[in-house]
Chain A
């Protein structure tokens, strides 16, 4: 495992994604979108009702978080990842509609893994419990949908060198499984 970080830019191109391997460290720069439990429910309902989504999913990353309110002079508050598995039910549909990456913490279901493989997508794990640290990598934040469910609203985040680790790569290789199996 190399010590170096791989630089990534959003939107995430397929060609770039399929080269990434589980366990590699990356730094993400560009726009990403937040969504967690309640926002996922709403997004999936919009898709099922064939209504437009608040942002285009194509090649984008959804980040599972709901930040704390920003302190004075800050762009955002703490914004670390929440447990991804609560979104397992919704992820395959979003990936089939063009979403390229998802980011959170913890293990994913077999269904999500299959959907990642099928759609040549990717699951990033970022550092759970590092909300204050990660807030420094966010340069701008704006609520673009569902303000009524704050703090679970969808934020558009402009991030710079946001650190993450490839958790499940486009071939379906699962970092946790590899790490825990080898022991």
Chain B
């Protein structure tokens, strides 16, 4: 890999870390504004209008939208005919995260040892890098930075359902997870659901589901219908904005699915707070 390209990847990651944290994704912002308009009850309406003001302040003044600027998940999709050197790629992504979190006044929220010392690494590294290869990209590399705050990440759940439990089993488990989470993940939430694969694949799918704009339904009509039903049933829980009741518990439900084993029905739920932060860029690779 050329030095110039690696430099570009580092700078892009750095910029995306900042960009993602100043504000929220546009489709979620639009849904939030709509929710505020429709909300009838006083307390949740007050919350929703404050959240909208919060986003405007964040965007204008470049103050992170939330103090939990997250652990950085970085999705890298490599296109056709791009040669990469994995170790150098990883190193430059890590450097980019380090730089972005420092320059952007983002919080360093990563501890080195999860169980014992829990000492902060001081630079928000390591990031979590997910590398994949996409036939949809030309001679390009797509980078997505998805900072994950743990108020919401902590509320995720995985289940290895019995295939006989089927559609109803999926709904029961998802609704249970959301009821239990209550006000903790900063509703109105966005729910990513992964069905199929193996245990860890299902959670990866759930996370990937959150990367899809909430207005776009799963292309498979049966899954699309399930998304719609779940959205309605989650809102019927009436947990509401920040748990203050009302009609806006959830802004969107996205499901991703994948083939699985004859004996299994892996299911994962990954919740995003209202402040779904994501920024992406496609880099063209010159020959």
Are A and B associated in one complex? yes
Cβ of B43 and Cβ of A165 under 8 Å apart? yes
Write the nearest CB–CB distance from B104 to chain A, whole angstroms: 9
Q: Which of B57-65, B216-224, B225-233 contacts A (4 or more CB under 8 A)?
A: B57-65
Q: A179-B240, A180-B245, A183-B238 are in contact. Are A129 and B105 (CB under 8 A)?
A: no
B interface bracket (residues with beta carbon within 8 Å of A):
35 or more
Chain A residues closer than 8 Å to B68, beta-carbon distance: 82, 131
A-B interface, 3 closest residue pairs, ranked by CB to CB distance from nearest: A133-B54, A132-B58, A106-B184
Q: Does A107 contact B (CB under 8 A)?
A: yes
In the complex, given contacts A66-B109, A125-B242, A129-B186, what are 5 additional A-B residue pairs having Cβ atoms less than 8 angstroms apart? A69-B107, A105-B186, A127-B47, A133-B54, A165-B244
Residue among A38, A127, A183 with the highest chain B CB neighbour number at 10 A = A127
Q: How far is the CA of A106 from the CA of B182 in the complex (A)?
A: 7
Q: Which of A3, A105, A133, A183 contacts B57, CB < 8 Å?
A: A133
Chain B residues closer than 8 Å to A170, beta-carbon distance: none
A156-183 with Cβ < 8 A to chain B: 163, 165, 175-176, 179-180, 182-183
Chain B residues closer than 8 Å to A79, beta-carbon distance: 67
A122-159 with Cβ < 8 A to chain B: 125, 127-136, 149-152
Cβ of A151 and Cβ of B105 under 8 Å apart? no
Chain B residues closer than 8 Å to A3, beta-carbon distance: 42
Q: Which of B46, B67, B183 contacts A106, CB < 8 Å?
A: B183
Nearest neighbor of B68 in chain A, beta-carbon distance: A82
Cβ of B65 and Cβ of A149 under 8 Å apart? no
Cβ of A74 and Cβ of B42 under 8 Å apart? no
Chain A residues closer than 8 Å to B154, beta-carbon distance: 83
Cβ of A179 and Cβ of B107 under 8 Å apart? no
Write the nearest CB–CB distance from A59 to chain B, whole angstroms: 26
Q: A136-B57, A149-B120, A176-B183 are in contact. Are A131 and B42 (CB under 8 A)?
A: no
A interface: dominant SS: loop
B interface: dominant SS: loop
Residue among B47, B107, B183, B245 with the highest chain A CB neighbour number at 10 A = B183
Cβ of A71 and Cβ of B62 under 8 Å apart? yes
Write the nearest CB–CB distance from A13 to chain B, whole angstroms: 26
Chain A residues closer than 8 Å to B54, beta-carbon distance: 127, 129-134
* Chain B 114-135: CB-based contact to A (< 8 A → 1; otherwise 0): 0000101000000000000000
Q: Does A60 contact B (CB under 8 A)?
A: no
Q: Which of B55, B63, B106, B183 contacts A105, CB < 8 Å?
A: B183
Residue among B55, B63, B105 with the highest chain A CB neighbour number at 10 A = B63
A25-77 with Cβ < 8 A to chain B: 25, 38, 65-71, 74, 77
Q: Does B275 contact A (CB under 8 A)?
A: yes
Q: A105-B242, A107-B243, A129-B273 are in contact. Are A151 and B184 (CB under 8 A)?
A: no
Q: Does A1 contact B (CB under 8 A)?
A: yes
Chain A residues closer than 8 Å to B243, beta-carbon distance: 106-107, 125, 176, 179-180
Q: Does B90 contact A (CB under 8 A)?
A: no
Cβ of B184 and Cβ of A85 under 8 Å apart? yes
Cβ of A77 and Cβ of B64 under 8 Å apart? yes
Chain A residues closer than 8 Å to B106, beta-carbon distance: 68-69
Cβ of A78 and Cβ of B67 under 8 Å apart? yes
Q: How far is the CA of A180 from the CA of B243 in the complex (A)?
A: 8
Chain B residues closer than 8 Å to A71, beta-carbon distance: 61-63, 105
